[in-house]
Structure 1
Amino acid sequence: MRLFEFLRDNKGDIQERWVNLVLDSYSEDAAAIFKREQDRFANPVGYSTRHTLTTLYSLLFDHDTPQFDQLRPALEDFIKIRAVQTFTPASAVAFVYDLKGVIRKAVSRDRAVEAGSVDWEQLHDTLDTVALQVFDLYMACRERLYKTQLNEYKSMNHMLTQHGCPAAGLADDTTKLMADVHPLNIHSNEAR
């Protein structure tokens, strides 16, 4: 059996191992919750991970050629989630490379697979192309996040500097109140 036939025939097992490996990249407690809870709304990270990785696997291996043109929409929501988490760029993209290890282990357990160097080279090229697209998406999401934060900072700064010093507004109100109060004339005849 050729490598890509093996990947199609063993899709469920490989996908499940891959999803579990990616979810294990979170803390132990979080990973347990992400693996256990299947509801989309109660567990958006776990659901998104499972849904995205199974869709990605199908786009890469269910057809004669990988469907690279459909990757971006399939990956976008998942990468947005990873972009707001505390992942470094390398660890945010690592899930693509995790698939290489999962496939290697699955192939090594099945002696019927005839995977030549050309098949492995094609697999590595495919996953490297995906990793580059994921990295571009991740960096675009991070840039959007930083621009949003900068705009929020600027707008808050604008609110503070619109009237000068924040205490300036209080000083103006105090001056108006003081204008209505007539000062006591200590030197007047009434005071003596």
Structure 2
Amino acid sequence: MTFESTLAERKAELSQKWAELVLRTYPKETQKVWTRQKDRFQNPVGAAIIEATGELMNHLIEWQDAERIARSLDKLIRIRAVQDFTPSQAISFVFLLKKLLRDEFFQAMKKDGTLDELLRFEAKVDNLAMMSFDIYCKSREEVFRFRVEEVKRSQSSLLRKAGLVADVTAEKSAD
């Protein structure tokens, strides 16, 4: 039995444990809300984290479609990109999977002499981390661009209200 097939058999359990580790990266009060509330409409962030870890576990086992992997990563990273995390904290969830896998499998695989399978799989997790960093950077760029656009809109609105700038759309419709 390969390591991937073992993971496939336990993927629901492992993705749930991974989601719990990710949720623990948030402040205690946030953790309480997100772990207690199971309704996806009342807890969209918690639901997105659980969904994304499940999808990512499947993708890691299969490791076939980089675009699908990126879409699943994007779901989780967009959440973390708008929060008050440093870049390393934002993508740390990937390395939490390595910790989980080592906690679950390291000792048994060391005894069986199959530790090399875990190490090969961890290379996939490392690739996931690199993809995560790229996606995080793009997400942060979007956040900053949205903030700049919002500041421009609010300044323009204030200047129009103060009568310091003419409203071009109103003047065009008057013509």
- TM-score (normalised: structure 2): 0.81
* Correspondence list, 1:96-175, <5 A: 96-108=94-106, 110=108, 114-117=113-116, 119-161=117-159, 166=162
Partner in structure 1 of residue 173 of structure 2: none
Distance 2:142 2:70 in 1: 16
* Correspondence list, 1:1-192, <5 A: 1-61=1-61, 63=62, 65-108=63-106, 110=108, 114-117=113-116, 119-161=117-159, 166=162
Distance 1:46 1:159 in 2: 36
Distance 1:46 1:113 in 2: 37
Compute the displacement of 1:3 (Å). 2.5
Compute the displacement of 1:160 (Å). 4.4
Partner SS for 2:91: helix
Deviations 1:31-67 (A, max 9, x none): 1221121111100111000000001001111x3x443
Partner SS for 1:96: helix
- TM-score (normalised: structure 1): 0.75
Alpha carbons 1:14, 1:106 under 8 Å: kept: no
Distance 1:168 1:124 in 2: 60
Unaligned runs of 5+ residues in structure 1 are: 170-192
Higher CA-based Rg:
1
Unaligned runs of 5+ residues in structure 2 are: 166-175
Deviations 1:3-40 (A, max 9, x none): 32322222232222211111111111211221121111
Distance 1:35 1:115 in 2: 35
Compute the displacement of 1:152 (Å). 1.7
Q: Given residue 48 of structure 2, which amino acid in structure 1 is its aligned partner?
A: S
Go from structure 1 to structure 2 and tell me whether the alpha carbon gap of 1:116 and 1:77 turns closer, same or farther (over 3 Å shift): closer
Distance 2:55 2:156 in 1: 44
Go from structure 1 to structure 2 and tell me whether the alpha carbon gap of 1:96 and 1:66 turns closer, same or farther (over 3 Å shift): farther
Name the structure where helix makes up a greater proportion of residues: 2
Partner SS for 1:86: coil
Distance 1:113 1:6 in 2: 14
Greater Cα shift, 68-77 or 103-112: 103-112
Alpha carbons 1:18, 1:98 under 8 Å: kept: yes
Compute the displacement of 1:141 (Å). 1.1
Distance 1:81 1:132 in 2: 18
Partner SS for 1:26: coil
Greater Cα shift, 39-48 or 12-21: 12-21
